[in-house]
């Protein structure tokens, strides 16, 4: 499966909700806390190849996702396009132990609050992160463009970087450390 997405930076969550309502978006899942752990091998193969092996816990559901770039598919200069495989896991701690036994180690952790909306044929995800508020649009390229326009954005506003890359930019290109939300703000 291919995942096609862009991020849009918004000043705050209320502004994002206002734009989503005005565009006719429908709330599908209310605000939840999400914890993500990215894994890599000792050689850093996944980071070097821009692969992602993620264990996500959100609302009592746990998913494992593998993503990789698609290469030079049409649209990769405008959208973030990745091959994505995902499945649920019943026991995230047991899966973490399994990954460690296979030689993987947690490389980076990031957390956010997320609300899920539908806007036309697009899934619009309102993410509140320690580095800012973003609306991620996921769907077909043309549907993303239509949804972005309804939200008051254009392709020049599209962000295709990962949260890790955005955090690195804020850290001046260095290691940003984990992107976690304090316990009292969860």
CATH number for the domain harbouring residue 53 = 2.40.320.10
- State yes or no: pLDDT of 76 exceeds 90: no
Q: Residue 170's domain spans which residues?
A: 2-185
What is the band of 108 on the pLDDT scale with cuts at 50, 70, 90?
very high
Residue 105 confidence (pLDDT) above 80:
yes
Distance, C-alpha 116 to centroid of its chain? 12
Q: Please report the sign of the dihedral spanned by the C-alpha atoms of residue 86, residue 91, residue 94, residue 100.
A: positive
Q: Using the predicted structure, report yes or no on whether residue 75 has a pLDDT greater than 80.
A: no
End-to-end CA distance of the chain: 32
pLDDT at position 74, please? 66
pLDDT 10s digits, 10-20? 999 999 999 99
Please state the domain count of the chain.
Answer: 1
Q: What is the pTM of this model?
A: 0.93
């Amino acid at each position: 499966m291919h995942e096609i997405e862009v991020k849009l930076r918004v000043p705050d969550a209320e502004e994002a909700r206002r734009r989503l309502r005005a565009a006719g978006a429908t709330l599908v899942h209310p605000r939840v806390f999400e914890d993500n752990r990215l894994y890599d091998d000792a050689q850093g193969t996944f980071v070097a190849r821009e692969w992602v092996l993620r264990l996500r816990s959100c609302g009592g559901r746990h998913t494992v996702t593998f993503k990789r770039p698609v290469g030079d598919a049409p649209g990769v200069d405008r959208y973030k396009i990745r091959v994505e495989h995902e499945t649920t896991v019943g026991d995230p701690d047991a899966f973490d132990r399994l990954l460690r036994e296979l030689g993987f180690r947690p490389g980076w952790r990031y957390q956010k609050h997320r609300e899920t909306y539908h806007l036309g044929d697009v899934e619009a995800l309102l993410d509140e992160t320690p580095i800012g508020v973003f609306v991620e649009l996921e769907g077909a390229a043309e549907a993303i463009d239509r949804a972005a326009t309804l939200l008051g954005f254009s392709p020049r506003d599209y962000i295709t970087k990962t949260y890790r890359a955005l955090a690195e930019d804020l850290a001046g290109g260095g290691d940003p450390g984990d992107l976690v939300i304090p316990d009292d703000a969860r």
